[in-house]
Every structure is written in structure tokens, then in C-alpha cells.
Structure 1
């Protein structure tokens, strides 16, 4: 069984020039399952933003995008050797032809050095914030140990090196609105896959297990812009202790435009349609024919993009 895509929110075929800008916004809840360190300008804690009289951790969307892009590249290499050029490395493009893959078509690409080429991203991931207060006093202290496994070296000298981190704790989750502009169906499928199959984020994530579990609370389709703001949600529609899904429903129903189709698990949304449930099942690789469909969808996208970028050059 193949995939069906909605007539609203997506482009039917790939093109460089965006004469129309239909959009799809995914309402993603990022459930924090282990203490997670998000840091930007400060090495030991996240940036913060105040809503009301409470501090919330502020996270740049690129902190999530970079990890999800790597998940996607791993999938492409697993599905078909031809999906990613042998010379391509993430964030190290050499030339346009070797850098062309589903990842760069979806998330964009900019040539570096003497190279002069670019592909505009179809994915917009803005800032997000923790839904509850971020406690700067709740520090996790780590000791710097020697090879012996203790804080004393082989001569008996005591190490005084300590590391303090203020991590986002389990239960203090994040709502992230991710918008695809003028994207095609395979781009939506690819983005969904990367969100649903990435579970390790933040600094020092190589020293932890899965620390984030993503779930899709809703999807919004529109003929024009459907982007939403987590800051606006928290500032105007959500207080600490409120039911999060109710707050999201209140927010979206307030800002909703007439061309929007809203589906999801919150008040005011229609139930997820069959096409989306099938799309999510394939993206999460929960069905037996998932890899076959992913391979077919990505092949179609790559053929269309190659015709435009390379053959028409």
C-alpha cells in the first residue's frame, strides 16, 4: 500500500522556485526522559527566558535539527548507497552534485569556501522552551576522576575538579512547532522519520542513553503560513500546572486561519486522518513495508531534484 498525501499544505512536485507557499506545521511534544543539558552561551546551563515570574529553559531549534539531520543521513545510507554520495559529509559540502540528497533538499545547504551554491531549507524550527520552570539552583555535580576511578591520582593527590550542570529534568517537557514551507510529501515523510527516530539531544549526549522521546500531538495544514510560537503559547495561554493539551488547543483555536486544517490530540482539533496515521507508521518504521515505501518516495524526490539541479544546468 502506497502513501497518500493531502491536497492542502504540500506541493505536488519538487521545484526550486516557490510560487506558492503552502505549509504544514507539526506540533511536537519533546518528552524529557533523562536529565538533559542544553547549553548555548553558558557551558553549564541553558539560556533562559522569563514568562510571567518563572524562568524557562530556552533552546534554539538547531539544537534539535542537527541531531535529526544525522538520523536522516543514517537512514538514507542504510536504504540505498546511491542516496548519499560517498564524498558527502554533513556540514562539509564540496560541490552541489555530490551534496544533493534528501537531507539537503529538505533542510537546506550552503556552499563553503570557494563553492557558490545553496539550497534553501523547507524546514523552519524556531526556539522552544520548557513548559515548566527551569530551576537554576538544581545543579548536578560531577567529579573529574583519574584512571584509578577515584578522585586521587597514583601519587595520592586529591583532584579538586568539579563540573556543575543545570539540566532540564524529566517531566519538564518542551513543545516545538516545526513548519515545512512549500515542501513535498517525501520531505514531510523524511522530517517525520527524523523526529520520531531521534532520541538523544543536548550537550554530552554521548554519555547518556535516550533522553528525549518525541511525539506528534498535532498537524496543521494550510494554503499559506501555519507557523506557531511556543513563546506565545507559554506567555498567553499556559500557566504552570495547566493541562498542556488544553492550552495548545486554546492557543491554536485562537490564532487559526480559515484555510487551516487542524488535526490532533487536543481540544478543537479533528482526529488524525487515515493518511497521516499511515504516514506516521511508515515514518516510525513500525510497519513491514516501511523501508520499501521510504525507498520509493525518496527515489522519486531525488529524480525530480536531479532533473532540475543537474540535468538543466
Structure 2
């Protein structure tokens, strides 16, 4: 790793078996900037959870992970410009793995993979993204209703019949947000760089996201490093430490301080956190692709991790 990284929270190199489990938790504030539909079992709205006397939209972390994994895969393919497929095999397709060799890349090493082809193989995920919830109320009465439009550009058929097809969606509205705790367990520095890149460079989430522009703005507002588990819960935060009148950073700070362990290092904009260290500032600028040498550094770091992991699997 050419970038400076902390001594706490990460492992130095990739290994199949996790003898140590240090962890890093990114505290991500996901700000809704356009109406966004998060749906699970209900096709027209999000699942919900009630905290106190208010209803909040509940979102499975996989809804974010899947979009961010695709962002990362696109980056690997764009960086892999030497035509030797050093970063991602030309036959690899997301969620369609064939064999281990073709499926081995930074994305699968970081987020995990289960073989679905003739080979029986699996790579355990280093990333844990639990459920998250809107910080403000989710209004089920605020429905967006649309009519089906025909090729004519109107709601009438060629026979001049009126369309009766209606679509109701209950979206999370701008002004609302979600706090998401993303934990990397026994991850290498390159994996942290990769996850950070994917979070900072993904802006379209939810159902029907192909029909909208950027709808979520992600900001990393805190960082927790530990020799052991640093997992945090958005549900616990909202149930016990936050209400609509409170400052969100103060609430997160109070929560982290209350559950903090002796081995934790806490940084960021939250109350009680130290300023982000210089190593994280550099990591952030590369991950956000703001640094002039970002592509070069990303390519070198991801190639290094891929090659070292390949050597480990070959030995195994």
C-alpha cells in the first residue's frame, strides 16, 4: 500500500482465514436530494419501522451495496486499460460467477461471492451493511401518482380510449436522510479504499433509478477504528439517542460515546470525535477521484491486492 494507513482497524495483507478481526466503521450520511423509492416486499413503498410515535422508512443495506458494487466494477473495468485483464476478467459478470479464477477481483474479495457454476467456491464478505432508517418521518400519505402514457405521448390509445392505468409510489422526499454504518471486518487498506470510492461515487439508488438523476448524496461524517468489532446500529441510534428536534451529529456522538470500547479510535464531524487524520484526507481525495494521481494510485493498489490474493488462493 503506497498510501499511509492506520495501525488500528485493518489487516496488513489478504488471507483466506481470519485469525484477527480488527474493524473499521464508516459513518455515512445519505442525504436524499430527489424523491427516491425504496421498496422491498411492497412494490409501491418502503418497508417501515416505528420509533416513538413516528414512522420511518426501513431500507435493507443490500439496496445500497448492490449499487455500490456496480460502481466499483465499472471502475475496475475502466482502470484495466492495459488489455491484460489484471483487475477484472473479461468474462466476469456481476452475480453470474463461473469459476474462482475468473471471479477473483477487488470487488469479490471485498464484498464476497458464492459460486453458482460448476465449481463450489465462496469468498466471505468483509463488508457488513445492516438495515438503516430515515432520520425523519416517512409520510405514507405523500403518494406520487402517474398515468400510463401511450406512444402518442398522451394518456389516450390510438382508438382514443382513456388510460385507466395508475401507478402510486410513496417515495422518500428531499430533506430526509439516512445514517448508515458500514463496517469492514479484517479488511486490507485496499479494501477500505475500494469501499470508500464506491460510497463517494454512487449517487443513484432505489427502484426505478434508471428514470431519475442523482437522488442520494453520500458524505462520510465519521470513522471508527478498533482492534475488535466496531459495529453500530441505526435502529439503536434512532430509538435511544435521536429525535426530530436534536442535532444529528450530536446524537451520533452521544451514541458512539455511550457504546465506545477502550480500543476504539473515533474521528470525524460527530460530537466527541477527533478531526479526521491526514492519512484519511489523502485516502478520501484518492477515493473520491479528486487527487490528480487518483487513477494511477487506484490502479496500482487494486492490482497489488488482486495479485497477492491470487497467490494466496494458488497456495491453498
What is the TM-score with the length of structure 1 in the denominator? 0.98
The alignment covers a number of residue pairs equal to 312
Residue 240 of structure 1, CA deviation? 1.3
Structure 1 unaligned spans of 5+: none
Secondary structure of 1:214's aligned partner: strand
Alignment equivalent of 1:233, drawn from 224, 234, 237: 237
Aligned to 2:267: 263
The 1-side partners of 2:215 and 2:298 are apart by 26
Aligned to 2:306: 302
The 2-side partners of 1:40 and 1:193 are apart by 26
Residue 82 of structure 1, CA deviation? 2.3
Q: What is the CA deviation profile of residues 227-255 of structure 1, one whole-angstrom value per residue up to 9, with x for unaligned ones?
A: 00000000000011311111001100111
Q: What is the CA deviation profile of residues 59-78 of structure 1, one whole-angstrom value per residue up to 9, with x for unaligned ones?
A: 00000000000000000001
RMSD: 1.0
Residue 103 of structure 1, CA deviation? 0.1
Residue 138 of structure 1, CA deviation? 0.4
The 2-side partners of 1:220 and 1:202 are apart by 27
The 2-side partners of 1:38 and 1:241 are apart by 25
Aligned to 1:10: 10
Secondary structure of 1:175's aligned partner: strand
Secondary structure of 1:198's aligned partner: coil
Structure 2 unaligned spans of 5+: none
Residue 114 of structure 1, CA deviation? 3.2
The 1-side partners of 2:155 and 2:307 are apart by 58
The 1-side partners of 2:230 and 2:281 are apart by 20
Secondary structure of 2:71's aligned partner: helix
Q: Give the ranges of 4+ consecutive aligned residues of structure 1 lying more than 2 Å apart after TM superposition.
A: none
Alignment equivalent of 2:217, drawn from 213, 218, 230: 213
What is the TM-score with the length of structure 2 in the denominator? 0.97
Aligned to 2:72: 72
The 2-side partners of 1:15 and 1:276 are apart by 24
Residue 312 of structure 1, CA deviation? 1.5
